[in-house]
A and B are shown apart, each in its own frame.
Chain A
Amino acid sequence: MDEPDRRDTEPFSEEQSPMRKAYWRANIRLLATLLSIWFAASFGAGILFRDFLDQFSIGGYPLGFWFAQQGAIYVFLALILIYVVAMHRIERKFDVDDDDG
């Protein structure tokens, strides 16, 4: 477990326990990772680097075109799945989950 950063000067920090802060930081880290992949798969592969990727192909699809019309959607699905599992683990670790009983 990461050591909570006590030098944090974020306003209102006095209201949050160190556990809560560590939980929230772990959450933000997870979000940042997943959203980077979200951005890379859609805006990166499907739009910005499409021309470069189109020189490769997957079946009859140019790769960049495939990302824009299909690949990105598969990545989105995988991201939500990973988020559901990873977030649940974080919540259990910091004892803030909403499991019954």
Chain B
Amino acid sequence: MDTQTLIYIFVGLSFALYIGIAIWSRAGTTSEFYVAGGGVNPVVNGMATAADWMSAASFISMAGLIAFLGYDGSVYLMGWTGGYVLLALLLAPYLRKFGEFTVPDFIGTRYYSRTARVVAVICLIFISFTYIAGQMRGVGIVFSRFLDVPILWGVIIGMGIVFIYAVLGGMKGITYTQVAQYCVLIFAYMVPAFFISFLITGNPIPALGLGSEVNDGSGLYVLEKLDLVLTDLGFAAYTDGSKSTIDVFCITMALMVGTAGLPHVIVRFFTVPKASDARKSAGWALLFIALLYVTAGSVGAFASLNFIDTVNEQSYAEAPEWFTNWEANDLIAWRDKNDDGRMQYRPGDAFEGAPVFSESGEGASGERVLENAATDNENEVYVDRDIMVLANPEIANLPGWVIALVAAGGLAAALSTAAGLLLVISSSVSHDLLMKTFRPDITEKGELLAARIAATAAIVVAGYLGIYPPGWVAQVVAFAFGLAAASLFPAIFMGIFSMRMNREGAIAGMVTGLVFTFLYIAWFKLWAPAANVEANWLLGISPEGIGVVGMVINFAVATVVASLTKAPPANIRKLVDNIRVPRGAQKPHMH
């Protein structure tokens, strides 16, 4: 059977499975829609959290980023796992004991204020939409490359699938589909990684393979060989970084704290039966996530080695099939600057900007002709970092079913995260804005209907962003983490650990943290991208890491304002006292 048929079969089967689960687990009440009835086993929830968390970015982009960043790529590996320690120790058990439906629920109740609730909803919606646009784009890439459908149809099919299980099933449907999606995505990630690690080092476990010798008889360790190959071509050594220490520090911290403050992750811990289950569940989630994360570093390094091996100094006429396939999808380009018919891969950009292909004619070797102005360095190869994981099995010449598996895995990762995000968007609209703020007299049936309508609307907006990705989408993923770190995390943390924190302090803190971080990122990423160089950064901290400063500002402003204003009322102090103690957790109550 050819690879294309296998891809259709694998993707088709996985979609049928998700829809089957969705029909089996339809939600009938708001409690089921928002938190799956609050009775999810901690191991199951851990697995669902892992799928929820590992997005198209983790599955498709991360190893590719690491392949090109080397040591600097560690910020993602540590940043996107270390947040679970904060979640387990500082937030999850207490929020579960609190026992409501959403993150704004906690902030609105703890700070006895509709304003605080609405500020939290705004943060949440902004964070979630930024994030979801990237997922839909991931779906589009996989579809257009592997299923030969235009991105438009790819996104529409993806929207249809998510619609079925998120709108019908709510959190209950999402939870059980995410379990299935986790299994698909981890299997799809590990199988090619085992193969490639075994091919290069003879050790099938990728995390150990990266620490082993290359089995080409040279006696060099993988990382030694990689450093050698890269420095020979003029790149920085793989095990050295080029970012400054303070920047690496701040980015890692912003990603960690941001992870702990992401609403779609937090809300998963509302679904387990009791507070002690929330911490167990966070442990399971990290275990399931770690399987992929300790592998990703190795996948990145092997991909880098394989890529240079197969591409550099290769003549274009004999380029491997995957190279021309990705070139046809605009994600690889080659410009023969020295007219030798061979591809030189060197540091620097091969030409200015993203590739713009001319519609007419071919180059001397049959390559697609570029309209971009050439740069005057020696590099001739443009490669989009996002393709490394998807192209890896092809680069390593693995069998067709492995490639099909990776296509299904990439879709599972993107769809599971998209569904989780849609759910927090819809519940914050129907529950926090409608039921708790503007229409408190709404019936449960009405609220459930509103949640479904909100989810549908959110899917349409997300799909639109996926089909017509505004230029800023790729630029602003830093927003999601930075804003979560600077706004939601401090408000929740102080709500639990400080008795004295009051309405005025929390709102002032959230607003200043949010505004500062937003302006800093927007300035360097959107309004003045030319100024986005280290010399202009505050304390040498890039926009990716600035959320940490926003967080510090939030804590400082909140503490000062709270000390100057009235202490919270007695019933709030009782509430805090109550959530600090695990005993007596209720199932989220019906309305």
B82 touches A83 (CB 8 A): no
Given contacts A42-B82, A60-B211, A98-B582, contact A48 B245 (CB under 8 A): yes
Contact with B along A42-78 (1 / 0, CB 8 A): 1100111010001000111110011011101110110
Residue B580, interface by CB 8 Å: yes
Give the number of residues in B that approach A within 8 Å (Cβ atoms): 56
Q: A20-B577, A62-B239 are in contact. Are A98 and B585 (CB under 8 A)?
A: yes
Q: When the two chains form their complex, are residues A47 and B245 in contact, meaning their CB atoms are under 8 A apart?
A: yes
Q: Is the CB of A15 within 8 A of B574?
A: yes
Docked-complex contact B286 and A80, CB < 8 angstroms = yes
C-alpha spacing A73/B252, complex, angstroms:
13
By the criterion CB–CB under 8 Å, are B294 and A73 in contact? Answer: yes
Distance between Cα atoms of A23 and B500 in the complex (Å):
19
Cα of A83 to Cα of B78 in the assembled complex, Å: 19
Q: Which residues of A contact B208 (CB under 8 A)?
A: 59
Q: Is B126 an interface residue (CB 8 A)?
A: no
In the complex, A87 has a CB within 8 A of chain B: yes
Contact across chains for B82 and A38 when beta carbons are under 8 A apart: yes
The answer to whether A72 and B573 have CB atoms under 8 Å apart is: no
CB contact under 8 A between A47 and B252, given known A31-B90, A73-B293, A80-B283: yes
Does B84 count as interface, using CB distance less than 8 angstroms? yes
Point out which of A91, A96, A98 has the most chain B C-beta atoms below 10 A from its C-beta: A98
B85: A residues at CB distance < 8 A: 34-35, 38, 76, 79-80
Assess whether B221 is interfacial by the CB under 8 Å rule. yes
B 481-502 contacts with A by CB, 8 A? 499-500
Partner of A61, one of B210, B213, B294: B210
Q: With A15-B574, A42-B252, A98-B584 in contact, is A87–B90 under 8 Å at CB?
A: no
Instruction: Choose one: B71, B73, B499; the contact of A12 (CB below 8 Å).
Output: B499
Shortest CB-to-CB span from B234 to chain A, Å, is 21
Contact present for A15 and B279 (CB under 8 Å): no
Cross-chain contact A96 with B499 (CB below 8 angstroms): no
Q: Does B327 count as interface, using CB distance less than 8 angstroms?
A: no
- Are B239 and A77 interface neighbours, CB within 8 A? no
- Bitwise, B208-230 to A at CB < 8 A (1) or not (0) is 10111100000001111000000
How distant is the Cα of A46 from the Cα of B297 in the complex, in angstroms? 14
Cα separation A43 to B253 with both chains bound (whole Å): 8
B526 at interface, CB cutoff 8 A: no
A70–B297 contact, CB under 8 A? yes
Are A68 and B573 in contact (CB-based, < 8 A)?
A: no
Least Cβ–Cβ distance between A48 and chain B, in angstroms = 7
Q: A20 touching B581 by the CB < 8 A rule?
A: yes
Nearest-CB residue, chain B, relative to A13: B499
Q: How far is the CB of A45 from chain B (nearest CB, A)?
A: 10
How far apart sit A50 and B241, CA to CA, in the bound complex (Å)? Answer: 11
Q: Is the CB of B213 within 8 A of A60?
A: yes
B279 touching A47 by the CB < 8 A rule?
no
Distance (whole angstroms) from the CB of B158 to the closest CB of chain A = 30
For residue B14, CB closer than 8 A to chain A, the reply is no
Asked whether, in the complex, the Cβ of A48 is within 8 Å of the Cβ of B583, the reply is: no
Q: Does B303 contact A (CB under 8 A)?
A: no
Q: List chain B residues, Cβ under 8 A from A9.
A: none
Given contacts A34-B89, A97-B276, contact A11 B499 (CB under 8 A): yes
Mark interface residues in A24-50 (1 if CB within 8 Å of B CB, else 0): 100100010011001000110011101
B249 touches A43 (CB 8 A): yes
Residue of B with least CB distance to A35: B89
A36, chain B: closest CB distance, angstroms: 12
Q: Does B77 contact A (CB under 8 A)?
A: yes
- Residues of chain A within 8 A of B93, CB atoms compared: 87
Task: State whether the Cβ of A81 lies closer than 8 Å to any Cβ in chain B.
Answer: yes
- Distance of B559 from chain A, by nearest CB (Å): 14
A93 at interface, CB cutoff 8 A: no
Interface residues of B in 72-104 (CB under 8 A from A): 73-74, 77-78, 81-82, 84-85, 88-90, 93
Min CB distance A26 to B, Å, is 12
Question: A84: CB under 8 A from chain B?
Answer: yes
A73, B577: Cβ atoms closer than 8 Å: no
Which of B74, B252, B583 has the largest number of chain A CB atoms within 10 A?
B74
- Closest B residue to A16 by beta carbon equals B577
B490: min CB distance to chain A, Å:
16
Q: Output the nearest chain A residue to B576 by Cβ-Cβ distance.
A: A12
| Proximity string of chain B (561-587) to chain A, C-beta cutoff 8 Å, 1 when within and 0 when not | 000000100100110010011111100
A10 to B567, CA, bound (A): 13
A11-B499, A83-B88, A84-B283 known; A62-B223 Cβ under 8 A = yes
CA gap between A34 and B90 in the complex, in Å: 11
Instruction: Assess A43 versus B84: contact at CB under 8 Å? Given A10-B499, A60-B211, A68-B77.
Output: no
- Apart from A58-B211, A68-B78: 7 A-B pairs, beta carbons within 8 A: A42-B82, A42-B256, A80-B84, A84-B279, A84-B283, A96-B582, A97-B276
7 tightest Cβ-Cβ pairs between the two chains A and B: A60-B221, A59-B211, A68-B74, A69-B297, A80-B283, A98-B582, A60-B211
| A contact set with B: CB distance below 8 Å | 10-12, 15-16, 20, 23-24, 27, 31, 34-35, 38, 42-43, 46-48, 50, 54, 58-62, 65-66, 68-70, 72-74, 76-77, 79-81, 83-84, 87-88, 91, 96-99
Which residues does B use to contact A, with CB under 8 Å? 71, 73-74, 77-78, 81-82, 84-85, 88-90, 93, 207-208, 210-213, 221-224, 239, 245, 248-249, 252-253, 256, 274-276, 279-280, 282-283, 286-287, 290, 293-294, 297, 499-500, 567, 570, 573-574, 577, 580-585
